[in-house]
Each structure stands twice: as structure tokens, then as C-alpha cells.
Structure 1
Amino acid sequence: MTASTRQTRFKIGGMDCASCAAKIDTAVRRLDGVADVSVSVTGASMTVSHDGPLADDKVLRQVARLGYGIVKDSAAASRTHGQHGDHEHDHGHDHDHDHHDHAGHDHGKGTASRSASAPASEALHVHGGAEPGQPWWRSSRALLTLACALALAVAYVAGHAFPAAERWLFLAALLVGLVPIARRALMAALAGTPFSVETLMTIAAVGAVLIGATEEAAAVVVLFLIGELLEGVAAGRARASIQGLADLVPKMALVERNGGTAEVPAEQLAVGDVIVVRPGDRIPADGEITDGSSDIDEAPVTGESTPKRKGVGEAVFAGTISADGVLKVRVTAAAADNTIARVVRLVEEAQEAKAPTERFIDRFSRYYTPAVLLVGALVAVLPPLLVGADWSGWIYKGLAILLIGCPCALVISTPAAIAAGLATGARRGLLLKGGAVLEGFAGINAVAFDKTGTLTEGKPVVTDVVAYGRDEGGVLSLAAALEQGSSHPLAVAILGRASAAGVAVPLASGSKAISGKGVEGDVGGVAVFLGSAKAAAERATLTEAQRAAIEGLNGQGKTVSALVADGAVAGLIAMRDEPRADAAAGIAALKGDGIRTVMLTGDNRSTAEAVAASLGMEARAELLPQDKQRIVGELKREGLKVAKVGDGINDAPALAAADIGIAMGGGTDVALETADAAILHGRVGDVWRMIRLSRSVMANIRQNITVALGLKAVFLVTTIAGITGLWPAILADTGATVLVTANAMRLLRWRG
């Protein structure tokens, strides 16, 4: 896009599959002034990129003619964007992807109930299909299906009472459903999609009437509409899965104002506001606890069954629940930018990044539907022309082939599974940016991890306390007294261990830091120093046993601080950034699936090797960012497909070099916008879950394609053999579509 390109967003009603998106994409692209179109099925939205002003009524009319509901998204104002490469990552708009025109289909949308030519300054909208949040049974699609079914039932009853009028009664019932279908076929053809499923349906129904199969044609139209309705219901379930995530955030928040509290809409919260969260309440915004502590139930967002105890200074997410305490939380992100809002937005955008399999199906379908028309025509005319076969019988078979060849099931087989996979991953904190990434995970056979903040917690903890001449509590008490008020990570670790052990921490006087060495002060009349072993050796004599203990702890990759009291070594405190609680299990799960794991870190060799040994993986240490990038390249040259896991900042070169870059740890917020995938909740095992989810999705896609093409092949043979006709033909298409969609929706129950 150029610097002057602007983007306008619209919400689309009644769009249920990739074919719908392709039809809209093709139609809107034909408008003057449109530079690009980006359609999200899951988000039920469309972003139109245009150079200069674009009359909204042109877009509204073009989409409404196809039978879809459309409303300008007033919440997303037009923006001006610079060049960002192939993918845009701004909040509030979709990715800038290429779309492929292919045989699309519509789903029984109604007509416009409001003029599409209203002024662009108004909240423009045209209705068709279901309104957002409207029950499926109240949509125009459902009403059309019901009307056509009732008309067919009346024709059956009245036809028995008045046999002479039977044909005309069935013709009337047929027209109830066929006229809207034919109109959509014509509008799609005029908008650039001549070979749509509506075209096949219209030709088959009209042809059936011409050869006297009016009753069967009417029944086929009803079955077609029922199949489309079922497909829409299933697509709604996938969309509701993501919307359900957004609904976790409460609508109202209790915010501190003027010395009291006031209830305000959560969407009006600003960064810096302080909100009060009562026991049992959902937290209405991302924030940091400023007062109180509570068990936080993160299961609705992360799937974790065990609540986490959180207190002052710790981060909480919107949508999680404070179980047992009153909290005051300072808001750190506005409603549009909280974790859940970003997840929903990114998943919607990801729908537009098509998987290779999906792109292949798109290309295939562009030729498939015309080929079906050609085969149907050849079946209808060649036998009568070449061997003098019965015209009526072979025309009937040709029409049945048109119905068998409807591309609905095939076209939806891949995007339905991709959408369900992305949705179920997002609900578990696994963000995958598009179908290509989701498909790519299935082939990963090597994972390179950063250490600090990825495999480890990213903050040191006290692992060993060695006392000389006093107990461990006494050593911690003196050390914590010197470290009070310090925010240094090692000081925080010592204070945390003292607090956990319930050790009394006396006041220290005259405390001061000694650059590069440690800290000293007076505690209860005792001169105390805490610092490196080398600095401690300048103040006290280290015994051979003490030197051996220090070397042993250093050999385990631990940082050792020595405590000197009244000129003698009183104790040693060892600290290390320890592996995450699930790191060993996560690495074991990857290795169990035959996936190679390697740690790439800039940390010292002894620390890296000690942590790697505890996790059962290989380590490469003392690396610069370019070294990590080089090693990833070496792994790829070995024939491995590599995923790189890091914080998305100093690991950026290696993340870019890998087949798939995964953001995790302290830089996840940044990497939400830059990496191929992101793990929101710091679980090493989630890397394995992403790979397993991808493999489940790809297995589902293979099943769907087999069902879609297999049923068509079976009924093609039985139709030519004269065993089946129009009814079974449309049931084959409708049944395959329902089976494929239902199979894809099984992924919404995936638990990893």
C-alpha cells in the first residue's frame, strides 16, 4: 500500500464460508478506486483499501446485490497507512492479503430492507441474512427455507386433491425458493463470479422442469436451502467461539473516582484508572494489582484449572476472576487493546492468511465448477447423439451431475477446519497468525528455545542457603536486612525467600552499595557485607571447604553471594533463574513426538548446560543474536523444519530465520504483532500443544476432502448407472457439506 492508501471497515451479515468471502471480494474489487479488499469470514467483516475517497454507498450496494447484510463499521474510522510489507499489523484493521477469485456460493440471504444509497456520513447499513446476534431461526435465510418447505407441503396435499393442477402447484412451490437463488446467481455473475453454486442449482432446477420433473425439482430446492441453513448454523458456532472469548470481559467496572467508587462501562476505562474488583468478580481490564491479593482463576482465558495467587505488583488479565480477595487494579491497557481484544482481532485477521492447502482448493475450485458444467452437458448430449440414447433420461442424468458437482463441501473443507483450529487455539492462549502458520506447525521437527524468560521464569530465585556458625534463618535475616528497599533481581529473590520462610527482617543502618562488589551496612550492631565471593574474600578468609562449596554451586550455573558478618563468612546464598514448572514435561512431550529440542542462549556455558541438563536437552551458550540466527540456518540446512521460541526482541533475527517464529515470555506483548505465533501464558508445553493442534487440523482437513470428493465420486457413478437421480444428488452435496462442517466443528472441543 502507498502512503495515501486509506482503509474503511464494514461488518457483513450472513457470510458463512470462504466462497462467500471470495464472492464479496471479487465484486468489491471491481469498483473504481478500490486498491485492495480483505474479507474475514470469522470476523464477519471486510476492510476496503482505497486511494482517496470512496463512496460508501457503492460498496453497500455492490454487497447488498449479492444478498448479504452490510453495515459500515463506525467504530473503525478510516486510517492512513504507510508501507508495511506484505502484512499489516496495526490494531483495528485486517491483514493486507491477496485473495483468489473462485467459485463462491451464497446462503439464502434476503433482500435489502434499507436503501444502500444513503449518505456516507450516516451509519449506513443494508440487511440481508442474519443480523449480528440474531438467532438463526429469525434470519431471512431461515424464513425463506421455511416458506419453500411449507409451499412444497401444500403442493403435495393440494396436488392429491386436485390432480389436474399438481404440476402447477409444484411449479409455484419451486419458484418460492428458486427465484431468490436465480437472482443471486445473476447478481454474482454480473459481479464477476459466473460459476457459482447458485448457477448450478438454477440450471438443474430449470432443466428438471423442462423434462417434466417439476415435483423433484421443487424438493431438490428445499433440500438445498436446508443444507445451506445447516451450514450457516455451523459457521455461526465457529464465530461464536471467538465472540464468546470477547464476552468474558464484563460490561461494567467499579472505578475509584473523587474519593469514592462509581460504576462505568468497561470500554470507557483509561490507562491509569484504578478499579476495584470484589471477590467473585471478573476483572474488566488488563492491569497491575496496587492493593490486595487474591487467587486469580484464569481458566476462562488460559484453560488452567488451578487458580494463581497474585498480589501487589503482579499483572492480571481482563476476563479472569478474583476468587477470594478484594483487589485494586491500575489499568494498563484500554478496552480495545487488552489481551482478549487483541486475541480476537488477531484471530479475525488470521482468517485471511490462507493455508497452502486452502489456496490450492481455491485455485482448484475456479476450474472445478466450469468443469462440472461441461461434464454435465457432455453426459446429457453425447449418449443421445452418438448412440441414439433417450434424450430425456440422459438430460436428467446430466442435471443430477450438476447437483452432485456443487463445490460447497469441497470449498468449505479446509477453511472450516482452519477457522475452528484457530478459534480453539486462541481460547487456550495459543495464537497462530493464519492458516499458513497453522498448517506449517504440522511439519515442525526441531524447536530452538531461548533460555531466559522462555524456558526459565526470567527472574532468579534462591536455590541454596549454606550457613556457617548460625542457622539458615539467621543468614537470610541478615541478608534481607541489607537488601530491604532494593529492586535488584537478586535482592528481590533474597527478600522473597526470607518472606516465604517467615524470617524476621531487622532494620539495617548505614546501608550502601559498593559498585561492582555488593552492599554493606550495620544490622543490630553487627557489620555485615553481602556480595560476590571475590569481594567477600577481601573482607574475610575463605576456607577450602567454603571455596569448594562456591565452586560447586557455580558449576551448577548458580550465582553465589557470600555473607560476611563481623569479619567472618557467615553463609552462602546461591541463586539461579530456574526452569518454568512445566518446562521438563514440555520438552519431554516434544521429544516423545520425535522433535529435536535445543537451547540457544547468550548466558554463560555452565549455567546453560546446567539448566539444559535438568530439562534433558542440548544447549548452545554464550551466543550473540547473529549466532542464534546462524544456528537456526544450520538446523534448516540439515533438513529440519525449525520453530524458534523467544521473547520477540533480542531473538528477532533467529525468529525471522526460522520456519515459524513463536513469541513467549517477557516480550510476548510486542511479539503479538510481529511473530508468526505467540504463547500468551508462558507454558513451555504449549509449543507441543500448537504442533498437536496443527496435526489434528491437518488430519481433519484430509478427512473433509476425502468425504467431499468421495461422496461425489460414488454418486457420480450411481447417477450415470441410473441408480440415483436428482434427490440423492442434492442429498450427496448437502450431506457432504453438513458432514464436512460438523467434522470441522469437532475441533472446537479439542483439549490438547
Structure 2
Amino acid sequence: MAEAARKSRYRVDGMDCAGCAQKVDTAVRRIPGVEDVAVSVVSGTMTVEHADGAQLDSEIARRVTRLGYRIAPQTTTGPGANGAEACAAPCCSGGGSRDIPDDTIHRGITREARWWQRPAVQLTLASGLAFLVAYGAGWLLPRYEQWFFGLAMLVGLVPIARRAFAAAVTGTPFSIETLMTIAAVGAIFIGAVQEAAAVIFLFLVGELLEGVAADRSRASIRGLADLVPRLARVERKGGIEEIPAERLSVGDVILVRPGDRIAADGEILSGESSVNEAPVTGESIPNSKGPGDPVFAGTVNGNAALRVGVTAAAEDNTIARVIKLVEEAQEKKAPTERFINRFSRYYTPGVVVLAALVACLPPLATGEPWSEWVYKGLAILLIGCPCALVISTPAAIAAALASGARRGLLMKGGAVLEGAGRLQAIAFDKTGTLTEGKPKVTDIIAFDGDQREVLRLASALEQGSSHPLAAAILERAAQEGIAIPEATRSAAVGGKGVTGTVEGRPLFLGSVNAAGERQALSKEQSRSLATFNDEGKTVSVLLVGEKALGAIAMRDEPREDARSGLANLEAQGIRALMLTGDNRRTAEAIAGSLNIEARAELLPEDKSRIVGELKAGGLKVGKVGDGINDAPALAAADIGIAMGGGTDVALETADAAILHGRVSDVAAMVELSRRTMGNIRQNITIAIGLKVLFFFTTILGITGLWPAILADTGATVLVTANAMRLLGWKPRSWPKSPSARPSAHGAAQTGRRTPG
């Protein structure tokens, strides 16, 4: 009977670039029984779908180890699952069913090794020391200088040659190790042994520097996992027990002391405190939280103890989801990266052919000295090493995706990152995207008496209501410190308003039309209220007995940064428009305040159709919405961007997500994309430019093996260092659009209301 397929996850140490991942993928994919392989350079992991069986596990480990990498099985237990503490190797777990030889589970993979304990560092130091010893011994015994340098070269060449052979027999014959081995062995035959030893050492230095850069990129992701504390204080059997945070389950109750990081996503059961959410959302001002409010793993409790009910296991909390999305995104290749990878498959064999032609044609055709042209051919082999070119794109994309994630900008892959910078038009939803999504009191007018009295009595009627307009009135009363009296005999009047008695006076609070049915309003009062309606505001009129005491106007306010965010997009040459299902008057009021084109009274299919029309007009179109009712338009756009605070919908429905809910972050995402593509162009120019330069200087006899390897190593280091600059990216402050005009506020729905 056929064995059932299963997935195994491994940690693979030593992978520095896309070329490393390709070698591992090719080698493991060729093993009989393996169905699929996914290698992540970013997280240093490999997921293999294969038939069950300990022998297959052992073969996977042997293949990867022969390529020069360290491998260990791994479990996924939480946001730090890509770290060393998640290792499930037999040597760590006290045994296991998988029969993987101990020599394939290298020391240092199960815990963070010190820098001098890493194999790459040790090999580089050994090669460098051997080179220095050979130099000193050759100075003392010149007759044996070539032998000394030959032995020094072998210190580094033997491991490189072994890796080259392993890669060749597992499907990657034209690896960087193969080119190095051919060049070094060829140098021996033409008597350039000293240069060959130096070349091997410099190559190892270059690989070491690549590893440092890759580690830095991975550290940016591990830094997110480190936000979650290792231990959590859980209520168990009437007491408090400390357990690892990854063992928390949904329904557990944890105690979070003042100053502690919260160990899981959850809901506050008791306690009130300020919570600093900057580690997750980037907001510098702590938020006041109380019973019923959600909290996120990694945020910091403020000044009081909280009891929190866990709502998500460790592998499903906000931090874990963000890490998973970033890792997946970094493995989704951008169009430019896919092109470079396809190009490199033909480029490396082409370099070998070109080097052979340079070495053979001049001596055969014109009788030139063989030693001179073989030397030049070997130098061209080194110049043509594709490392710098292959890493130019993925290094920049990985750094940009990590940098964006730390600032709440999640993009699902290199294609999305590349496409965001090409957007020419962006369509925004209104409610909850350009606006806060909840009404606020904007105006209080008193026809008789003062405004505080109008607010005080209206608040008395609205106490206990969950209606959004009631919440806006109560919030304003709380802001002004008004003592709210008790209302009796309160009752809702369906579709019109609410009635009640406050301090012995009969009150009614409702829509303009409903109030007019009870008591005719004066022309002046009607004109004032009509002005508010024209501005897209919802108006509630307060009647005391048969007299209109005043009115309260409310609306869904634009987000604080909406105007500046849209101005930033305009400064980048991007057309912005608003697509909303709200009524035309409200939409035009919002649009006028934000200086944005508006299309109103749209159904979801209408929004999708308009996005399609924009695309048909030759524009690259983005759509920003909440990820639920805008789903058709998000799917229809070239880039769909969900605006939200880390909800499942916001993270999973669109191509990208803005966790902070800031309009200005849309412009920041476009800027990051354009900065990244500029960085990639710089990297490709560096990689190809140096190779072309040294190709001609080598042919002319100006440079040789040493400068050739310095050109390759130098290009790789420059490209990697340039890409790593994106880790420090910060959104720039764009000048405000000169055409942006201030006006009245945004809008909420108008018309009659039904109190809660």
C-alpha cells in the first residue's frame, strides 16, 4: 500500500542567497519519494512534502549536508518557530522516531553559536591563516614557495570542491563553487599558485560577508518574534503559573502586570490600563483599554494589572501572522527577480564557454602564448561569477518587505512590492478608509439657552443606547465633563427618535423631519439645519415639550491624515478617487473637503466595474478598502490594499494590508516600492558594470586573477550593502499639494435615524 504523503519542515543553516536555495531545492527534489520542496532563504527553512519513512528523512539530510549546509528537523510552535528554540532534532528533543544520523545534525544549529564557532568563519580564518603561514614560509624557503601556497590553497579549495561536486551530481553543474574550482585548479597548471591561494581566501571572505548580510535580513524578521515574551503568567487551579508563551491555548486567562509585554492576542476580562501598541502598530500614544477591548501579543501594558482571555494560539496571533505573511511574501518572486533567475541559468554556462574561447582561440588562431590566455580565461571565469547579479533583486526585496512590515505595511510578495510603485490611480472606499468609520459631534446649536444644556439633556436620553449617533453624543459629553442626569420613561420611536422625561421635563430627540411633525420649526431654524444637511451632516433636534431647544450635528470625520495622505499621492503623480455606496450629497461633501474625485451610490459590482474601466483606459489601478464589502473591487484592481488593524480579513483578502489604518501609509507604500526598484536598478548596474569593466581590463592584460575575484566579491558586497540600506527606510514627508483646499469636514449619512 502506498505511503501517505506528509510535510516535514527543516531548519537549514548556511544559505545566503537565491543560488543557495536553488541548489538545495534541486538536490532534494531529485530524491525519489519527494513530491514538493519549498526553500526559504529569508527564514532559513525548507518544507518538504514527501512519502513517510525514516530512510527518506535520512536521505534528505545527507543531500543537504553534502552541499555544505547544516540541517535539522523543526516544529512550528509559534512566532519564533523559525528560530533555534523551535528545533525538534533528536539531539534536542531527547530522541525521536526519525533516523537521521547524528553527524548530519551539526553543532550550532540547535542554539545560536558565537561568531567564531560558525563553520564559515572557521574555514575563512583557517584559509587566511594558511595563506599567511605560506607567505612566511615561502619567504624563508623560496625554493618551496609554490608548495607552501599550494597547501594553503587546498585548505579552502577542498571544501569548495566537495560542494561543487555535490551540486553537480544533484543537478546544479554550473554553481559558483564549480567556477571557483576550475579557476583554482587551472591556476595551478599555469604556475599561478600564489594567486590561486589568494583567490580562494578572498572568495571565502566574500561568502562570509554574504552570510552576514543574510543574517541581518533574517534578524529583522526574528526581531518581530522577539516582541512576544517567552513566558506567560496563567491562572491555573486558583493560582498563577508561569508557562512558555507558545503553550498558551484559546480560553486561557493570563495575568499581565504593569510594564509587562502581553504574551498573546486576547480580550481584557478585568482591569483598566493604558497599552502601548507601538511595537505592533507604530502608534506612539498608548491607548486606554478596559474590559471587552482587544489586545495584541507583543504590546506593552501600562500602569495597572490586566486579566486577559486568550483568543488566539501562539501560531495564530498577530505577530505570528505578520511573520508568516512576510516570509511568504519574500519567497514570492517579483517579475524582475524571475527574469534575473532565468537569465542566470543561461548566463553561467555562457561565461564558461566565453572563458574557454578566450583561453583557446588566440593561441590556436594566432599562436599567442597559452599560459597568458589561459590565465585570462581563468580570470574571466571569476569575473563572470553570477552571485552579485543573482542576489541584486532578492536582497533588496527581502529588505524592503521586512522594513515595510516593521512599519505596518504588508505586501504579499515581490510582485506586489514592484507593482505598487507603478500605480497611476488609486480608488479609496469612504467609510472606515478615508473616514474614521464612526460619527462624531461636530456642531451644537442652541435655539434657547446654551449649548452645554442641549448636550446634557440629549446625553440623558441616549444613556444605555448602542447606536453610533448615541455613542457620539455620549463621547462628546464625556469630553466636556458634563454630569448626565437620569432619564425616566425612555422609549424609542421607530425610525424617528427617542423620548423620555428628564428632571420632570418631557424630551424628544430625533431627526429634523420627525421633530417638525411634533413642532413646526421656524424658517431661520430650518435654514440652519438645512446648511448642516448640505454639508453631509446628520442632525438630531432636541424638543423640550413643544419647544425646540437646540440641535446636534454629527458626521463621520475624515481620518486625521487623510488630506495630507492624498496630497502625498498627488505629489507622486497618482490620481486618487473615492468610490462609495453613500448618497451623493454626503460623498460630495467628503470629496470637497479632501479635494478628491467622488463617485457615489455605488453597489459592490459598480465599484468593481469602475476599477475595470480605469484599467481599460491604460492605468495601473490600486484599490483601498476594508477587505469585506470592497472585495470585488480589491480583486479587480492591479493591487488591492486592505485598510485594517491586523484582522484576518485585512491580512488575507488583499494583495497588501495597511495595519495602522493611515491614509498616508498608502503613499508610503508607493514610495517604498519606488525606492526599492531604484535600489534594484543600482544593484544590477553595479553587478554588470563591474563585470564589463574588468572583462575588458583582463583582455587588455591590465588586471588578473586577484582583481577578478575582488571584482566579484566586491560587487556582491556592494550590492548586498546597498540592499540592506532599505532596512533603515523611513517614509519621507511630501510637501502638501498646492491644490489641496481646506473646507468643511467629511460626512456621515443623512436623513432619519433610529435610536438604539
Give me the TM-score of the superposition, normalised by structure 1: 0.91
Secondary structure of 1:602 counterpart: coil
Where does residue 72 of structure 1 map in the other structure?
73
Where does residue 35 of structure 2 map in the other structure?
35
Task: Within 5 Å, give how 1:417-432 maps onto structure 2.
Answer: 417-432=396-411
Contact 1:13–1:127 (8 Å) recurs in 2? no
Cα distance change, pair 638–420 in 1 and its aligned pair in 2 (3 A): same
Aligned-pair distance for 1:258? 5.2
Where does residue 49 of structure 2 map in the other structure?
49
Contact 2:176–2:386 (8 Å) recurs in 1? yes
Contact 2:61–2:100 (8 Å) recurs in 1? no
Question: 1:36 is aligned with what amino acid?
Answer: D
> Which of 491, 516, 521 is the equivalent residue of 2:500?
521
Greater displacement, 233-242 / 287-296: 287-296
Aligned-pair distance for 1:666? 6.7
Question: 1:357 is aligned with what amino acid?
Answer: T
The answer to whether 1:601 aligns with 2:580 is yes
The answer to whether 1:481 aligns with 2:463 is no
Partner Cα distance (1:558, 1:167) in 2? 89
Partner Cα distance (2:232, 2:570) in 1? 45
Contact 1:381–1:395 (8 Å) recurs in 2? yes
Q: For 1:418-444, what per-residue CA distance to the aligned partner results, in whole angstroms no more than 9, with x for missing partners?
A: 000000000000000011110111101
Partner Cα distance (1:500, 1:514) in 2? 28
Secondary structure of 1:623 counterpart: coil
Cα distance change, pair 539–113 in 1 and its aligned pair in 2 (3 A): closer
Partner Cα distance (2:90, 2:160) in 1? 18
Where does residue 315 of structure 2 map in the other structure?
336
Where does residue 88 of structure 1 map in the other structure?
none
Partner Cα distance (1:129, 1:461) in 2? 61
Where does residue 652 of structure 2 map in the other structure?
673
Contact 1:644–1:654 (8 Å) recurs in 2? yes
Secondary structure of 1:545 counterpart: helix
Task: Within 5 Å, give how 1:185-196 maps onto structure 2.
Answer: 185-196=164-175
Contact 2:623–2:637 (8 Å) recurs in 1? yes
Question: 1:281 is aligned with what amino acid?
Answer: D
Task: Within 5 Å, give how 1:397-436 maps onto structure 2.
Answer: 397-436=376-415
Greater displacement, 689-698 / 499-508: 499-508
Partner Cα distance (2:178, 2:134) in 1? 25
Partner Cα distance (1:114, 1:177) in 2? 30
Cα distance change, pair 122–268 in 1 and its aligned pair in 2 (3 A): farther
Aligned-pair distance for 1:34? 2.5
Contact 2:58–2:100 (8 Å) recurs in 1? no
* Paired residue total: 717
Cα distance change, pair 315–614 in 1 and its aligned pair in 2 (3 A): farther
Greater displacement, 593-602 / 666-675: 666-675
> Which of 191, 201, 216 is the equivalent residue of 2:180?
201
Where does residue 132 of structure 2 map in the other structure?
153
Partner Cα distance (1:276, 1:141) in 2? 44
Question: 2:711 is aligned with what amino acid?
Answer: A
Secondary structure of 2:9 counterpart: strand
Where does residue 442 of structure 1 map in the other structure?
421
Task: Within 5 Å, give how 1:178-327 maps onto structure 2.
Answer: 178-257=157-236, 261-327=240-306
The answer to whether 1:657 aligns with 2:658 is no
Aligned-pair distance for 1:330? 3.4
Greater displacement, 617-626 / 517-526: 517-526
Task: Within 5 Å, give how 1:466-545 maps onto structure 2.
Answer: 466-545=445-524
Question: 2:356 is aligned with what amino acid?
Answer: A
Aligned-residue Cα RMSD (Å) equals: 2.4
> Which of 657, 673, 678 is the equivalent residue of 1:694?
673
The answer to whether 1:395 aligns with 2:374 is yes
Where does residue 63 of structure 2 map in the other structure?
62
Contact 1:254–1:264 (8 Å) recurs in 2? yes
Partner Cα distance (2:106, 2:388) in 1? 23
Cα distance change, pair 391–553 in 1 and its aligned pair in 2 (3 A): same
Contact 1:429–1:679 (8 Å) recurs in 2? yes
Aligned-pair distance for 1:273? 3.6
Partner Cα distance (2:274, 2:123) in 1? 51
Secondary structure of 1:576 counterpart: strand
Q: For 1:115-139, what per-residue CA distance to the aligned partner results, in whole angstroms no more than 9, with x for missing partners?
A: 9xx9754788834596363344321
Partner Cα distance (1:376, 1:590) in 2? 50
Question: 1:736 is aligned with what amino acid?
Answer: A
Secondary structure of 1:538 counterpart: helix
Partner Cα distance (1:360, 1:224) in 2? 26
Question: 1:218 is aligned with what amino acid?
Answer: A
Q: For 1:401-422, what per-residue CA distance to the aligned partner results, in whole angstroms no more than 9, with x for missing partners?
A: 1011111101100000000000
Aligned-pair distance for 1:589? 0.6
Greater displacement, 261-270 / 636-645: 261-270
Q: For 1:610-632, what per-residue CA distance to the aligned partner results, in whole angstroms no more than 9, with x for missing partners?
A: 11211111111110000000010
Secondary structure of 2:687 counterpart: helix
Contact 2:641–2:655 (8 Å) recurs in 1? yes
Contact 1:668–1:679 (8 Å) recurs in 2? no
Q: For 1:217-241, what per-residue CA distance to the aligned partner results, in whole angstroms no more than 9, with x for missing partners?
A: 1111000001100110011001001
The answer to whether 1:742 aligns with 2:721 is yes
Contact 1:403–1:726 (8 Å) recurs in 2? yes
Cα distance change, pair 697–353 in 1 and its aligned pair in 2 (3 A): same
Contact 2:577–2:597 (8 Å) recurs in 1? yes
Aligned-pair distance for 1:45? 1.2
Contact 2:58–2:99 (8 Å) recurs in 1? no
Cα distance change, pair 214–264 in 1 and its aligned pair in 2 (3 A): same
Where does residue 546 of structure 2 map in the other structure?
567
Contact 1:68–1:128 (8 Å) recurs in 2? no
The answer to whether 1:557 aligns with 2:533 is no
Aligned-pair distance for 1:50? 3.8
Cα distance change, pair 491–678 in 1 and its aligned pair in 2 (3 A): same
Greater displacement, 448-457 / 276-285: 276-285
Aligned-pair distance for 1:310? 4.1
Secondary structure of 2:347 counterpart: helix
Secondary structure of 2:652 counterpart: coil
Contact 2:235–2:252 (8 Å) recurs in 1? yes
Question: 2:385 is aligned with what amino acid?
Answer: C
Question: 1:143 is aligned with what amino acid?
Answer: Q
Contact 2:77–2:315 (8 Å) recurs in 1? no
Aligned-pair distance for 1:93? 11
Contact 1:465–1:574 (8 Å) recurs in 2? yes
Where does residue 86 of structure 2 map in the other structure?
none
Aligned-pair distance for 1:312? 4.5
Partner Cα distance (2:384, 2:358) in 1? 13
Contact 2:67–2:167 (8 Å) recurs in 1? yes
Contact 1:13–1:129 (8 Å) recurs in 2? no
Aligned-pair distance for 1:52? 6.8
Contact 1:72–1:123 (8 Å) recurs in 2? no
Partner Cα distance (1:257, 1:512) in 2? 46
> Which of 688, 700, 704 is the equivalent residue of 2:683?
704
Secondary structure of 2:438 counterpart: coil
Contact 2:234–2:255 (8 Å) recurs in 1? yes
Cα distance change, pair 340–366 in 1 and its aligned pair in 2 (3 A): same
Where does residue 85 of structure 1 map in the other structure?
none
Q: Gaps spanning 5+ residues in structure 2: where?
A: 83-88, 732-756
Secondary structure of 1:48 counterpart: strand
Partner Cα distance (1:586, 1:140) in 2? 49
Secondary structure of 2:172 counterpart: coil
Secondary structure of 1:704 counterpart: helix
Question: 2:200 is aligned with what amino acid?
Answer: V
Cα distance change, pair 130–589 in 1 and its aligned pair in 2 (3 A): farther
Greater displacement, 408-417 / 10-19: 10-19
Secondary structure of 1:460 counterpart: strand
Aligned-pair distance for 1:476? 1.7
Question: 2:456 is aligned with what amino acid?
Answer: S
Contact 1:129–1:140 (8 Å) recurs in 2? no
Aligned-pair distance for 1:275? 3.4
Secondary structure of 1:381 counterpart: helix
Aligned-pair distance for 1:242? 0.9
Cα distance change, pair 124–572 in 1 and its aligned pair in 2 (3 A): farther
Secondary structure of 1:457 counterpart: strand
Question: 1:698 is aligned with what amino acid?
Answer: M
